[in-house]
Structure 1
Amino acid sequence: MSNRSFFGLAVLAVALLIGANSVYIVSEYERAVVLRFGRLINPDVAPGLHVKIPFADKLRKFDGRILTTDARPESFYTIENKRLIVDSYAKWRIRDVQKYYKSTGGDEAVGASRLASRVADELRNQIGSRTLHEVVSGKRDELMHELTEKLNSVADELLGIEVLDIRVKRIDLPEDVSQSVFDRMAADREKEAREYRSKGAEQAEVIRADADRQVAVLEANAYRDAEIIRGEGDATAAATFAQAYQQDPQFYAFVRSLTAYRNAFANKDDLMVVDPDSDFFRYLKNIEGKK
């Protein structure tokens, strides 16, 4: 290879190197700044294709999407001086690129660490002014909303970031008090269960007594109606018998005698001692029933 060819390749290589260092691309999900000899000259580069001075300008890119900072569990005390272990996380993104770069040096880990420290401080203040019940149950959403709003203004001013949401993943009691709290909760639930059982037994007795009363009333009314119907039936039967007897007294006496014979001789093993001349055998001796 001749010296001219070698020189041409060297010039081409230098031109490519200079061209590669003169053009850069910022995507839509990135934020970027441009430094010239360490001095910030473009604090917020728009997405797209851009040109810079090679070897003099330096590009720094940052993730412009929503980021998550998972803080380590911290120990906090409520207003009742009860210790809690709180595990939380924060959602945030860069709002002011220039302020973010100046406060963190463009290091995401530094920004996340400083934000986590602020979150821990604010959580300590918020939990310290509330009871255990407010922190654990009904007031948690209100607490997180207040914390997010307050921390967002501070983080925007100091770090140039926007805090979108702060959430508590888990709240635990220390191991040394967990068992005592569990025993107390179990005792409270057992007390409540006993109260429910006693109230249920009381209501059951009331219902059972009312049911017994209704049964007694129904049986009494049924017995009364049955006696009335039975009396009316006996009266009707007596009237019918009297009417039949008046029509033919002799035939009625004969039928009654046959019924008496049927009932008396129904069981063959029975032994009957009766005077043969009694009225019982009157129709057996004489079909007309004459003595």
Structure 2
Amino acid sequence: MNRIGFIATSLLILLALLSSTMFVVDQRQFGVVYALGQIKKVITEPGLNFKLPPPFQNVSYIDKRLLTLDSQDTEPMLTAEKQRVVIDWYVRWRITDPGEYIRNVGLDENAGALQLNRVVRNAFQEEINRRTVRELISTRRETLMADVKREVADAVKSGKPWGIEIVDVRITRADYVESITESVYRRMQAERQRVANELRSTGAAEAERIRAEADREREVTVANAYRDAQKVKGQGDGEAARVYADAFGKDPQFAEFYRSLDAYKASMGKKGDVMVLDPSSSEFFRAMQSAGARAATPAR
């Protein structure tokens, strides 16, 4: 029984020792093998590899992919006109020589990013000092980014090489500092307000002109309609007078009686009007009396 336990323990120790000598390098990484604190070899190809067990040899990994460094600070920079501007930028970079990188920069990607941030900012400051705001924003922006990329690439290769490659440098935003930006926005707002007021004044004047033109056309239309109405009314009154004359000419007594009726109607046009007449001297009453006498006479 003791023999079986000894064999099992020995196998476990052997497997642990064997596993400590094997390591896998991912295709996205470099494998760096250390021997007593010194770089023994660098594994650049993915796959299974072997080393001596710790503490004789150890392994660490460094990212070999394309990395991005974004600007972190918002300190303003001075242009050639002494204008204070704030820029946002990013850098695309990768580690190409892990040995040089570890010896001259650091053990991981964060160490390179920290030092690279300082170099890129200094390069931008130097180039922006030579250019105006107009050149920074539009006319020479591409040239500025190319110059910064060249300066940063020279800085990481000179002296003690960093073992990295600068792939691209880009400006994502360039703007005035907040105090100047607010002043510019206020001027823009005042200008837009002035244009809006001018448009409102022009619109109000045009509305008044249109209303005046419409009122004039309305007055002309109403006057023409009244003139035509009066003309038609005059023609109707003339025709009515002619018809009355023809009808009254056929029976003068009826005509006189009808005129009397119209006179009485005009005199008593309102409710409550009272008229005092002498029946003996009124043609109307005499006509009514004669009409009543004829109605009372019996037919034979």
The reply to whether TM is greater than 0.5 is yes
Q: AA paired with 2:189?
A: R
Could you say which residue in structure 1 is the equivalent of 2:32?
A: 33
Does 2:177 match 1:173?
yes
Matches within 5 A, 1:94-105: 94-97=95-98, 100-101=101-102, 103-105=104-106
1:48 aligns to what? 47
Change (3 A) 1:13 1:199: closer
Determine which of 257, 261, 265 is the counterpart of 1:258.
261
Please, which of 149, 161, 175 is the counterpart of residue 165 of structure 2? 161
Structure 2 unpaired stretches of 5+? 290-300
Question: Does the CA contact (< 8 Å) of 1:31 and 1:61 recur in 2?
Answer: yes
> Does the 8 A contact of 2:32 with 2:39 survive in 1?
no
Structure 1, unaligned runs of 5 or more = none
Query: Counterpart of 2:105 in structure 1: which amino acid?
Result: T
Q: Distance in 2 between matches of 1:188 and 1:244?
A: 82
After superposition, the C-alpha distances for 1:3-56 in whole angstroms (9 at most, x for unaligned) are x999989976874565234211112332223456735543x5222211235566
* Residues 228/268 of structure 1: CA separation in 2 closer, same or farther (3 Å cut): closer
Q: Determine the structure 1 residue equivalent to 2:298.
A: none
Across the aligned residues of Structure 1 and Structure 2, the Cα RMSD in angstroms comes to 4.5
Percent of aligned pairs sharing the same letter: 22
The residue identity in structure 1 corresponding to 2:85 is L
Q: Residue by residue, what CA displacement relative to the aligned partner does 1:205-239 show, whole Å, maximum 9, x if unpaired?
A: 12212221122113212321331133123202321
Residue 67 (structure 1) shift? 4.2
Cα distance change of structure 1 residues 14 and 231 upon mapping to structure 2, 3 Å threshold: same
Q: Which amino acid aligns with 1:22?
A: T
Q: Secondary structure at the match of 1:74?
A: coil
Which of the numbers 248, 267, 272 marks the counterpart of 2:270?
Answer: 267
User: Is the contact made by 1:74 and 1:120 (CA closer than 8 Å) also made in structure 2?
Assistant: no
Note closer, same or farther for the CA distance 1:206–1:16 as it changes in structure 2 (3 Å cut): same
Q: Where do residues 196-215 of structure 1 align in structure 2 (5 Å cutoff)?
A: 196-215=196-215
CA distance in 2: counterparts of 1:184 and 1:131, whole angstroms: 17
Aligned residues of 1:32 and 1:60 also touching (Cα < 8 A): yes
Q: CA deviation at 1:65?
A: 4.5
Letter in 1 for 2:220: A
Counterpart residue identity of residue 241, structure 1: A
State the match for 1:233 in structure 2.
233
Deviation at 1:199, TM superposition (A): 3.3
Task: Give the 3 Å change call, closer, same or farther, for CA 265–8 of structure 1 in structure 2.
Answer: closer
The TM-score normalised by the length of structure 1 is 0.70
Rg comparison, structure with higher value:
2
Residues 69, 286 of structure 1: CA spacing in aligned structure 2 closer, same or farther, 3 A cutoff?
same
CA contact (8 A) 2:77 2:125 kept: yes
2:149 corresponds in structure 1 to: 151
1:42-96: CA deviation from partner (whole Å, max 9, x where unpaired): 3x52222112355665533113455454533333012331223445554544355
Query: What is the TM-score with the length of structure 2 in the denominator?
Result: 0.68
For residue 263 of structure 1, what is the amino acid of its counterpart? A
The aligned length equals 277
Deviation (angstroms), 1:167: 5.4
Aligned-partner SS, 1:28: coil
